[in-house]
């Protein structure tokens, strides 16, 4: 493998290219007209414009990207996350054109891309599942019966759903029919597939996922868990590894279940098996994501492996160079997704120009970044600017480093989730480890954040004033 094309943009494109470069592999970037001056374009050895700003006219044009890869004499394509990464048709086109797709086979992507098909695929392996329907709902009477048996509240989910979209909580029987109809039409317009199903709504779960990696020789490893319970709109904002609630026995059981899920679909490459963990520490299989996850760096920091390096090795047909017994957890890692979103305003995207943009540096701090000062945050794509990742020998040290890193991170021109990250890291519920996926609803409000920022500003002003008065005293010339 001499040359890789990265069919993505932003931090993940750079992240992948960094490892490729380390392995002596040349890189090709693709970019839309909106990204002409983006750092990922300059980072690559070669770069090609693939179309207009909207992703449907650039980053999602699979056939066009494959065509470019062939012209550029590329050997393999890495899809990153998002865009074409979980598109089985794209994976197939890539291989049909004699190129290597750095990811699982199209069949595994297809099966795991449908939450119902995924549950069906893993049935033979005795994986615990959230109680609910195992097929798409077409009959309202059946839906009612299932919901009564499970007990309200229940959750309606789109089979093709992703990114926290297509989910509806139903609190009471009288809302069921209208909510199912609404969920179906939403799923149809968002995913082109109106299939929905019912799951028991687990009341205060934690989101725990297991990183897996499989080679083409039948070896499947798991790289322990990531805790991703700090979410807004069912989407992760803060992740960490390891989780503060898993015992080594539970970790082992969940790891083995994840390996079974991968085995069930003939998986190859990096993947993530997501579970919910309830208050009694029962875990339930949610879904499998068939790509490198946004939050993969926390796993890299606690295990010392480079997951992209392993992805490339596996794609070259090599055997995984480590065994499960050799893998160990060392220390603790935390990740904050730095989104251009306003935590004071319901986490709505905050687009604009990065008037000031300075990254933190120091021991135990890693920033996977895709932006630089002076750049406009495009409205066309996911508004994540960077991932701020910290490492410590224990959880409190990692949290403390995160607080320091947040205070060093300078962004002007757009609102970001940095103040929210600060809020989380100082909150007693987070610090004690006693939290679940409802952290934002239960502990956070824009008013609390504002009040804290005002107090901090007052303290800063008082400190500055005292310093000023002291300086004045020293400057006074004795008469
Ligand atoms: P998506 O594919 O859209 O990311 P997931 O199935 O992975 O959807 O779920 C995303 C999040 O939604 C979970 O992390 C959790 O917070 C919440 N969730 C999903 N299913 C349930 C459930 N049955 N009960 C309670 N919360 C759930």
Residue 27 — φ and ψ, nearest 5°? Answer: -125, 145
Specify the pLDDT at position 162.
86
Handedness of CA 405, 406, 410, 411 (dihedral sign): positive
Specify the pLDDT at position 295.
98
Nearest ligand 1 atom, CA 163: 3
Tens of pLDDT, residues 386-409:
999 999 999 999 999 999 999 999
Which pLDDT band holds residue 13 (cuts at 50, 70, 90)? very high
Nearest CA among 9, 1, 11 for reference residue 296: 11
- Whether the per-residue pLDDT at 479 is higher than 60: the answer is no
Q: Is the CB of 132 under 6 A from ligand 1?
A: no
Tens of pLDDT, residues 449-472:
999 888 888 888 888 889 888 888
- Whether the per-residue pLDDT at 474 is higher than 80: the answer is no
- Close Cβ partners of 470 (under 8 Å, ≥ 6 residues apart): none
Q: Is the CB of 288 under 6 A from ligand 1?
A: no
Candidates 226, 291, 366, 395; catalytic one? 291
Per CATH, is 131-200 categorized as 3.30.1490.20? Answer: yes
Question: Taking a C-beta distance cutoff of 8 angstroms, is the pair 208, 298 a contact?
Answer: no
**Which of 119, 128, 205, 232 has most ligand 1 atoms within 8 Å of its beta carbon, as the pocket-test mutant?**
205
Angle at the Cα of 252 (from 251 to 256), degrees rounded to 5? Answer: 115
| Local structure of residue 33 (DSSP, 8 states) | G
176 CA from centroid of ligand 1 (Å): 19
Q: Is the CB of 207 under 6 A from ligand 1?
A: yes
Q: What are the structural domain ranges in the chain? A: 3-102, 131-200, 206-447
- Close Cβ partners of 6 (under 8 Å, ≥ 6 residues apart): 13, 16, 17, 20, 27, 28, 29, 30, 40, 44, 77, 78, 80
132 CA from centroid of ligand 1 (Å): 14
74 CA from centroid of ligand 1 (Å): 38
Q: Is the CB of 199 under 6 A from ligand 1?
A: yes
| Local structure of residue 344 (DSSP, 8 states) | T
383 three-state secondary structure: coil
d(CA 101, CA 90) in angstroms, rounded, equals 9
Q: Is the CB of 155 under 6 A from ligand 1?
A: yes
d(CA 370, CA 11) in angstroms, rounded, equals 4
Stretch 291-296: mean pLDDT: 98
Q: Is the CB of 341 under 6 A from ligand 1?
A: no
- What percent of the chain has pLDDT above 90? 92
Taking all residues of the chain, what is their mean pLDDT, rounded to a whole number?
A: 96
List of E strands, 110-191: 154-158, 167-170
Residue 123 class from Cβ within 10 Å (0-12 exposed, 13-18 middle, 19+ buried)? exposed
Tens of pLDDT, residues 171-203:
999 999 999 999 999 999 999 999 999 999 999
- Whether the per-residue pLDDT at 476 is higher than 80: the answer is no
- Whether the per-residue pLDDT at 477 is higher than 90: the answer is no
Specify the pLDDT at position 473.
80
Specify the pLDDT at position 121.
95
Question: Taking a C-beta distance cutoff of 8 angstroms, is the pair 219, 242 a contact?
Answer: no
275 CA from centroid of ligand 1 (Å): 9
d(CA 389, CA 372) in angstroms, rounded, equals 18
**Which of 81, 86, 276 has most ligand 1 atoms within 8 Å of its beta carbon, as the pocket-test mutant?**
276
Same fold, 3-102 and 131-200: no
Atom 15 of ligand 1, residue of closest alpha carbon: 234
Helix axes 296-303, 307-315, angle to 10 degrees: 100
The HSE-up count of residue 195 (CA atoms within 13 Å, CB side) is: 13
Specify the pLDDT at position 123.
92
391 CA from centroid of ligand 1 (Å): 27
Integer angstrom CA distances of residue 41 from 8, 27, 422 = 10, 10, 32
Could you name the CATH architecture of 206-447? 2-Layer Sandwich (3.30)
Atom 6 of ligand 1, residue of closest alpha carbon: 286
The HSE-up count of residue 260 (CA atoms within 13 Å, CB side) is: 16
Which range is least confidently modeled, 94-103, 150-159, 459-468? 459-468
Q: Quick check: is 291 catalytic?
A: yes
369 CA from centroid of ligand 1 (Å): 27
Nearest ligand 1 atom, CA 289: 2
d(CA 37, CA 161) in angstroms, rounded, equals 33
Nearest ligand 1 atom, CA 199: 23
- Whether the per-residue pLDDT at 245 is higher than 90: the answer is yes
Name the β-bridge partners of 6: 29, 78
Class of domain 3-102: alpha beta
d(CA 221, CA 299) in angstroms, rounded, equals 13
The backbone region for 76, taken as left when phi is positive above 0, alpha when psi lies in -120 to 50, beta otherwise, is: beta
């Amino acid at each position: 493998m001499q040359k890789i094309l990265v069919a993505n943009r932003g931090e993940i494109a750079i992240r992948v290219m960094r490892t490729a470069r380390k392995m002596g592999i040349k890189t090709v970037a693709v970019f839309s007209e909106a990204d002409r001056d983006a750092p990922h374009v300059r980072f690559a050895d070669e770069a090609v414009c693939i179309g207009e700003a909207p992703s449907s006219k650039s980053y999602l044009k699979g056939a066009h990207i494959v065509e470019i890869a062939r012209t550029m004499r590329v050997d393999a394509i890495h899809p990153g996350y998002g865009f074409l990464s979980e598109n089985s048709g794209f994976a197939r086109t890539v291989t049909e054109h004699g190129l290597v797709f750095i990811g699982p086979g199209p069949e595994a992507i297809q099966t795991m891309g449908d939450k119902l098909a995924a549950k069906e695929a893993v049935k033979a392996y005795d994986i615990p599942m959230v109680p609910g329907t195992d097929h798409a709902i077409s009959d309202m009477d059946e839906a009612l019966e299932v919901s009564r048996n499970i007990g309200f509240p229940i959750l309606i989910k789109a089979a093709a759903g992703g990114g926290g979209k297509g989910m509806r909580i139903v609190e009471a029987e009288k809302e069921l029919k209208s909510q199912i109809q609404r969920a179906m039409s939403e799923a149809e317009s968002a995913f082109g597939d109106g299939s929905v199903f019912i799951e028991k709504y687990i009341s205060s779960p934690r989101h725990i996922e297991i990183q897996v990696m499989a080679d083409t020789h039948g070896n499947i490893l798991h790289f322990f868990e990531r805790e991703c319970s700090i979410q807004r709109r069912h989407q992760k904002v803060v992740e960490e590894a390891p989780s503060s609630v898993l015992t080594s026995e539970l970790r082992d059981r969940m790891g083995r279940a994840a390996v079974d899920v991968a085995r069930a679909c003939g998986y190859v490459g990096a993947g993530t098996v997501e579970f919910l963990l309830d208050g009694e520490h029962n875990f339930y299989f949610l879904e499998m994501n068939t790509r490198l996850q946004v939050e993969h760096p926390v796993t890299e920091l606690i295990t010392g492996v480079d997951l992209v390096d392993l992805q490339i090795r596996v794609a070259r047909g090599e055997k995984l160079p480590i065994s499960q017994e050799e893998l160990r957890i060392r220390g603790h890692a935390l990740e904050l997704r730095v989104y251009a979103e306003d935590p004071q305003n319901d986490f709505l995207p905050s687009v604009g120009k990065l008037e000031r943009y300075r990254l933190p540096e120091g021991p135990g701090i890693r920033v996977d970044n895709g932006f630089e000062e002076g750049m406009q945050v495009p409205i066309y794509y996911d508004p994540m600017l960077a991932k701020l990742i910290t490492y410590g020998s224990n959880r409190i040290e990692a949290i403390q480093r995160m607080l320091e890193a947040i205070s060093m991170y300078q962004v002007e021109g757009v609102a970001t989730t940095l103040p929210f990250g600060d809020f989380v890291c100082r909150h007693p519920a987070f610090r004690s480890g006693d939290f679940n996926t409802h952290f934002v609803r239960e502990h956070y409000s824009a008013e609390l954040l504002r009040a804290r920022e005002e107090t901090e500003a007052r303290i800063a002003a008082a400190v500055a004033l005292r310093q000023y008065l002291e300086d004045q005293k020293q400057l006074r010339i004795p008469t």
